[in-house]
Amino acid sequence: MPTKTMTGATVADAYLQLLADRGVDYFFANAGTDFAPIIESFAKAQALDTPVPEPVTVPHENTAVHMAMGYYFMTGRPQAVMVHVNVGTANGLNGLLNAKRGQIPVFFTAGRTPTNEEASLPGHRSLDIHWTQEMFDQGGMVREAVKWDYELRNGEQVETVVDRGLTIAMSEPRGPVYLSLPREVLSHPMASYSYTSPTRQKPATAARPDADAVDEIASLLAKARNPLILTGSGGRTAAAWHALSDLAERYALPVIQHRFRILSLATHHPMNMGYGQDGWVSDADVILVVDTAAPYVPAQHRLRDDCKVIHIGPDPLHSYVPIRGIPADIALTCGTAEGLEAIGDALESHAVAARDQIEARRKALAERQRKLHAGWDARLEDARNQPVIHPAWLSHCISEAKNEDAVVIQEAKLLTSHMRFDHPQTLWNPGAASGLGHGLGAALGVKLAAPDRQVIGVHGDGAYMFGNPVSAHYVAAEQNLPHLSIILNNGRWQAVRGATVGQNRDGYAARSNRQPLTFLDAIDGYEKVVEAAGGYGEKVTDPTDLPRAIDRALKVVEIEKRQAVLNVICSTG
């Protein structure tokens, strides 16, 4: 077995070199006193030109975790995050929840407060905080939000622990892992240390779809008169995007992407039937759910008695959800792309007898899509002429200004019906657990991974505050990551208001002009924050000036290579 050996090293030295050897490019960190051996090792590596991940100073854990998520989204390679003991772990939990629900692998680590009071041990307790930050079970805070957690016990197991964490994170369904790193262990000296390179530990391959189940699914779809595909995350990979596109087009299967987390089908694909479920779910006789935990809300949609519901994906029953009663007549465990491709191949023979029915459905769906688009066009025309910027007009203007391959991070209610996206992995909402504050960090991670791509983040005013903008703008300045952030500023928590009124349609809140706990209008000068980091900020209130404002901001990003923020004062739509 090929090995590499280092001499005169500490456990921290071995740990960082192993991360680099295993393909970890970046080390996103918010440091504390537990980082002393890590910082010493980074300084040593810089002086000796030793390969280690690139350290990135990130002043808030929410930014750090979502940067790692964004980098993975563009590269398919998990990155390392390190935070400060228990308090940093707590601050990073929001990002971990998003990563777990979004199946994004992150190698999330935290220092561990020293436990030894004896001065003879390197890394021993040396500050009063080392007593008050100690916990009985630090990992217990995140155990439900990660796939695996462990604490490094000694230097001899560094290779085993690193490989274990990375392979579990990258095995389907993918997700974050947690490793705590005691300061005494990291500080421990080793005369020599050898490790296998390249590693002999590989992630588990995705499950191959069961042939009998695939054949049954193909038979049901071929016989269906009103089949329907529902997905919110089916396009996690380019391969899955293309497989879904091919399956839907070949067999005239309409696709609805309601409250999607990642766009899974081109906006103008002939089988893209929009983003609302009314008139679709209740009429379907076969529903194919692609990698989505909540394809519809049972309280809002009643299925036909004869409707068959099929779920496919790495975890088709979404076992991480404690209670879930959505019907699953067939649950096919598989890689998403592999499952869609297998169903498409199996349909070839089953669809022969149904060819006329499929072509008749194709024509009917084309007419239905034409009427859908006509309605969207009328809504956009109305929005264009309103005195306050409407979200539909903002969505359209962003679409008109962006590059064809731009990556848009969505943390506000963009109206995809007024936008055009033709390529996979170009529209993403990283908040799979609805942990707000994800957009700013994710945009930075995407830009770090793809510096030549145009990156645009769209955030609600509340989400922008959750995103720790000073931290995010600092990282963008330090790492030279010019991108555009657009704040959809309606001065309120619109989702909270909607939920309240939806539950109490004739209640006091519905009749109130100012519902408690929903307004965010005490300040509106968010564009000033980026100026502290040398960026460009502008407030936009006039709908007619919006296209020019977006062009001005993109020119700053692309020509001047500075980050920019547009604070767009919008109606609630």
Strand order in the sheet with 149-151: 54-57, 26-29, 80-83, 107-112, 177-182, 149-151
Write down the pLDDT at residue 319.
94
- What integer pLDDT is reported at residue 132 of this predicted model? 82
Task: Using CB atoms within 10 Å of the CB of residue 162, give its burial: 0 to 12 exposed, 13 to 18 middle, 19+ buried.
Answer: buried
Distances (CA, A) of 46 to 26, 36, 41, 54: 14, 16, 9, 10
CATH numbers and ranges of domains, the chain: 3-196 (3.40.50.970), 211-371 (3.40.50.1220), 386-569 (3.40.50.970)
Q: Confidence band (pLDDT; 50, 70, 90) for 518?
A: low
Cα 378 to Cα 270, 274, 386, 399: the distances in Å are 20, 15, 13, 17
Torsion 131-132-134-136 (CA) sign: positive
Give CA 567 to chain center in angstroms. 23
Q: What is the pLDDT of residue 498?
A: 67
Strands 255-256 and 308-313: unpaired
Other CB atoms within a 10 A radius of the CB of residue 105 amount to 27
* Residues of the chain above pLDDT 90, percent: 88
Torsion over CA of 301, 322, 146 and 408, rounded to 10 degrees? 10
User: Do residues 468 and 60 lie in contact, with contact meaning Cβ atoms separated by under 8 Å?
Assistant: yes
Q: Give the separation between CA 264 and CA 56, rounded to whole angstroms.
A: 32
Q: Check residue 256 and give its pLDDT.
A: 98
How many C-beta atoms surround the C-beta of residue 377 within 10 A?
Answer: 12
pLDDT tens column, 246-293: 999 999 999 999 999 999 999 999 999 999 999 999 999 999 999 999
Angle among Cα 245, 71, 54 to the nearest 5 degrees reads 155
- The pLDDT assigned to 497 comes to 66
> 319: exposed, middle or buried (C-beta count within 10 Å: 0-12, 13-18, 19+)?
exposed
**From CA 174, how far away is CA 105, in angstroms rounded?**
6
Mean pLDDT value across residues 147-158: 96
Coil, strand, or helix at residue 94?
helix
Residue type, 96: L
Task: Report pLDDT digits (tens) over 27-38.
Answer: 999 999 899 999
- Measured from the Cβ of residue 414, the count of other Cβ atoms closer than 10 Å reads 21
For the chain, the average pLDDT equals 94
| H-helix or E-strand spanning residue 550 | helix 546-555
Residues counted in the chain: 573
pLDDT at 428 over 90: yes
Does 225 have pLDDT greater than 90? yes
pTM summary value: 0.94
Distance CA 403, CA 355 (A): 39
Number of helices (H), then strands (E), in the chain? 18, 19
Which residue in 390, 11, 383 sits closest to 184, CA to CA?
A: 11
- Greatest mean pLDDT among 79-83, 486-490, 522-526: 79-83
Task: Extract the tokens encoding 165.
Answer: 């964490």
Write out the two tokens for 22. Answer: 């295993």
The structure tokens 């809300």 sit at 297
Strands 255-256 and 107-112: unpaired
pLDDT bin (cut points 50, 70, 90) of residue 468 is very high
User: pLDDT value at position 171?
Assistant: 98
Q: And the tokens for 144?
A: 């439900």
Distance CA 63, CA 246 (A): 36
DSSP-based three-state secondary structure for 456: strand
Q: How far is CA 469 from CA 62, 429, 434, in A?
A: 10, 18, 18
pLDDT tens, residue by residue, 103-120: 999 999 999 888 877 777
Query: What is the C-alpha end-to-end distance of the chain, expressed in Å?
Result: 63
State percent of the chain over pLDDT 70: 97
pLDDT one-digit tens code per residue, 282-307: 999 999 999 999 999 999 999 999 99
> What does the pLDDT read at residue 504?
73
Residues contacting 382, CB < 8 A, separation 6+: none
Residue 521 reports pLDDT greater than 80: no
Distance CA 301, CA 294 (A): 12
Q: Establish how many alpha carbons lie within 13 A of residue 69's alpha carbon, considering only the half-sphere containing its beta carbon.
A: 36
Contact of 572 with 392, CB cutoff 8 Å: no
What confidence tens digit (pLDDT) does each residue in 391-419 have?
Answer: 999 999 999 999 999 999 999 989 999 99
- Find the helix or strand (DSSP H, E) in which 3 lies: strand 3-10
Q: Report pLDDT for 122.
A: 82
**Rounded Cα gap, residues 360 and 347, in angstroms:** 17
Q: Residue 20 above 80 pLDDT?
A: yes
